[in-house]
Amino acid sequence: MAYTETVDRILDAAELLFAEKGFSETSLRMITSKAKVNLAAVNYHFGSKNALIQAVFSRFLRPLSHLMEEGLKKHQWDLDSGQAPDIEQILRLYTHCLLDIPTRHENGVSIFMRLLGLAYTQSQGHLRLYLEEEYSVTFKFILMMVKESTPQLSTEERFWRTQFTLGAMAFTMSSIQPLTDILENKQGSKADPEKVIDFLVPFLVAGLKTPPIQE
Amino acid sequence: MAYTETVDRILDAAELLFAEKGFSETSLRMITSKAKVNLAAVNYHFGSKNALIQAVFSRFLRPLSHLMEEGLKKHQWDLDSGQAPDIEQILRLYTHCLLDIPTRHENGVSIFMRLLGLAYTQSQGHLRLYLEEEYSVTFKFILMMVKESTPQLSTEERFWRTQFTLGAMAFTMSSIQPLTDILENKQGSKADPEKVIDFLVPFLVAGLKTPPIQE
DNA sequence: AAACATTCCAAACGGATGTTTTAAACATAC
DNA sequence: GTATGTTTAAAACATCCGTTTGGAATGTTT
């Protein structure tokens, strides 16, 4: 995919509109008129609306995945070393990488998290498949790290606690500022994502570390 | 709204399809053909598709709200008594009420949870307004109870922890069906909502009770 | 300059959507 | 029996959707 200016303008507009309205609720005509490009440009450059959705995700998941792998290497964590990292360190690494993604909009982090949440909750079969194929390696490795760090949990309880963690993160990050306000460029007491994460991580760590109900 | 048989059949079908596919992805023709009623019946009885969505929510939110108020009365919790309930009791009351709603389908609880999650994550403007107008009293009262039960938290940290809690609940609920499928493929155990809640509450309680970072 | 490939654009296509309208049947109550 | 409300049927409505088309514009290469 050659990144011409038209392609970028489409991706920028689509990213904002998808995050604000959802996928089905955003039409190609909304996107192209916001991006100030011709309607046919989407199908010309991306092929289909579904491919555009996937491209939007790729543009921020690729850097995120890359940052994560670098971070993991730097810590020299290894599954076979027997030295499991603390669960808090894993969360810190993940949130730190999130904040370091280069963003194309203000409040880019909020938008990314909102999109991530939508990817989970909106039943877009094609998107689920695509994400699974493209980025499962990195995320599976993280899941393995979580497993090493929480040996006291049953597989089932660990699975659900991971979901709770994801939910708290995605939901909170996506509502850091009502997205309408973001788009209107309305300013006020702007909530700093870093500060929210400082609140979030101890909350999640406490939940993850609490004794299991299934012995 | 007179609850004739046609009305109920429409609501039953809509409830299932909305929970399965989401609102935008469910057409009136899908609903009426599943309910085996005429297409025009929806607009005749409900007026519009949006009104139908609201009616689906009312049918299970009204009993839920009622159960909550009864539960609060039974515990004789009072904001001015100075006797703050434990935060776990509040969460338990809420989740128990959720499980006690009379359901019209098998897996009714899963369906309600999924709908509740969709209401939060799917940005349906009209739905958000409607829920706000109809059920904000009960909701605000719960927030006051949470405040009483967590006096050690600053207003800011309590606000965010409430967001984390809501996020974990809504996110898990809205994706509970797809997740259950994942889990079933992974291992034979079928996940029923009660079990998920049993995992969820201790996780949230631990997070809510952990010492604040802001002293 | 000529040939080529790429990008852009206005318009149209076929289909699905929510909604409305017509008419006729059916039930129930006064 | 007449009035009132409910249901079905079939069709049309206006609109929106994703996608496709043919040709014009643009840039690059020979």
Average pLDDT over residues A109-133: 80
Whether pLDDT at A188 is above 50? no
Identify the pLDDT of residue A175: 67
List C-alpha distances in Å: A16 to A44, A113, B204: 21, 12, 31
**Residue B13 pLDDT greater than 90, yes or no:** yes
Q: In the predicted model, what is the mean pLDDT of residues A54-82?
A: 83
Q: How far is the CA of A115 from the C1' of D14 (A)?
A: 33
The Cα–Cα gap between A88 and A100 comes to 18
Count of CB atoms within 10 A of residue A147's CB? 16
A117 contacts B171? CB cut-off 8 A: yes
At B181 the pLDDT is: 57
Distance CA B20, CA A189 (A): 38
Selection from A20, A45, A14, A72 nearest residue A178 by Cα: A20
More confident residue, A182 or A40: A40
E strand or H helix at B56: helix B49-74
Q: Per residue in B172-198, pLDDT tens?
A: 877 766 545 544 555 545 557 788 889
Residue A78 Cα, gap to closest chain B Cα (Å): 24
Contact indicator for A194, B202 with CB cutoff of 8 Å: no
Question: A24 and B24 in contact (C-beta within 8 Å)?
Answer: yes
For residue B206, the distance in angstroms to the closest alpha carbon of chain A comes to 5
- Output the CA torsion B156→B158→B160→B163 (10° steps): -140
Domains of chain A with bracketed CATH: 59-209 (1.10.357.10)
CA atoms within 13 A on the CB side of A147: 13
Please give, chain by chain, protein residues whose CB is below 7 Å from any atom of strand D.
A 26-30, 39-40, 42-44, 48-50; B 2, 4-7, 36-41, 44-45
State whether the beta carbon of B191 lies below 7 angstroms from any atom of strand C. no
Cut 0.95: pTM above it: no
Distance CA A3, CA B14 (A): 43
Q: Which residues contact B12 (CB under 8 A, 6 or more apart)?
A: B35, B104, B105
Which among B164, B175, B189 is the nearest to A120, CB-wise? B175
Q: Which nucleotide is nearest to A44 (CA to C1')?
A: C7
Q: Are B68 and B42 in contact (CB under 8 A)?
A: no
Cross-chain Cβ contact B22/A25 below 8 Å: no
